[in-house]
Amino acid sequence: MFRAFFLTIALIVPAFAAAAEEIRLYVFDCGSLRFDDVAAFGLTNDETEVREMFVPCYLVEHPNGRLFWDAGLPVAIVGQGDVPLQPGTTMRYDRSVFDQLDDIGVSLETIDYAAFSHMHFDHAGAANAFVGSTILMQKPEYVAAFEMADANPVFDPTLYGELADAEFILLEGDHDVFGDGSVRIIAAYGHTPGHQVLYVDLANTGRIVLSGDLYHFRFSRKDRRVPSFNTDASATLTAMDKVERLLEETGATLWIEHDKALADTLTKAPRFYD
């Protein structure tokens, strides 16, 4: 009877467990992008004055492992000042994510999982370094990045090609990373074929959703603007609905990853959210 009792408790607890107090979220400055023209993002230039995007990387520390999320701009440009990307666009990256991980005493070998919202160059810039981690990727993103990269011009396989040797868990939908509901990858296709966002439940900070590129600007969210270079506009709108519903149901706060004004207010590593 006692055994049955404890078994029942063991089965019940995970479903009701609040976020483990030990979960931490680190935000790293992995560069910035500056645009003369933002029309490609589905806005007109007079609708917003914002021309700069923050480029983040994140680390989630969970009692059962570490998840790295989004790998910033290409590490090759670190320390080179303003680097032209294409006419009218520059990128800048002052201090590599590797040095920033070093600051908090985290070595790459200790990072169990790496996931990218999608494989564009500003989210996969240090991806090759995570070849020792298990990669959590949506199957359509894997196909686009590794089998059809030529058809996806914002994909640069030199940044992530070495991951071909990594272990993958290929996802076809949402995924509970550590099995307790606290850190969940949410499929949100459309910006790229297998775009995804990340839900993190923090004991003190509350619930946060990291947007990937579901939205680039606050304005994009307000008016459901779809960038012209998204691979699937109608899937993007469906993904927006799905994530907005998740935010409503969970009370989570959306962090638009590229939102410079938001980023300016965030606590960066070595400090963290818990």
Q: Are 177 and 113 in contact (CB under 8 A)?
A: yes
Pick the piece of the chain touching Zn ion (CB under 5 A) from 81-89, 94-102, 115-123, 154-162: 115-123
Residues 158-217 interacting with Zn ion (rule: CB under 5 A): 213
For the chain, the maximum distance between any two Cα atoms, rounded to a whole number of angstroms, is: 73
Provide the minimum distance between the beta carbon of 165 and Zn ion in the complex, in angstroms, as a whole number. 25
- DSSP, res 30: E
Provide the minimum distance between the beta carbon of 213 and Zn ion in the complex, in angstroms, as a whole number. 4
Q: How many residues bind to Zn ion according to rule CB under 5 A? A: 2
Provide the minimum distance between the beta carbon of 198 and Zn ion in the complex, in angstroms, as a whole number. 14
CA dist 12 and 152 (Å) reads 45
- Minimum CB distance to Zn ion smaller for 113 or for 215: 215
Nearest 5°: phi and psi at 31? 115, -175
Bridge partners of residue 186, in order along the sequence: 197
Mark 211-250 with x for binding to Zn ion (rule: CB under 5 A) and - for no binding: --x-------------------------------------
Q: Is 122 in the site for Zn ion (CB under 5 A)?
A: yes
Task: Please report, in angstroms and rounded to a whole number, the separation of the first and last CA atoms in the chain.
Answer: 38
- Minimum CB distance to Zn ion smaller for 29 or for 180: 29
- 9 conformational bin, left if phi > 0, alpha if psi -120 to 50, beta if neither: alpha
- DSSP, res 110: G
Provide the minimum distance between the beta carbon of 50 and Zn ion in the complex, in angstroms, as a whole number. 14
The footprint of Zn ion (CB under 5 A) covers 122, 213
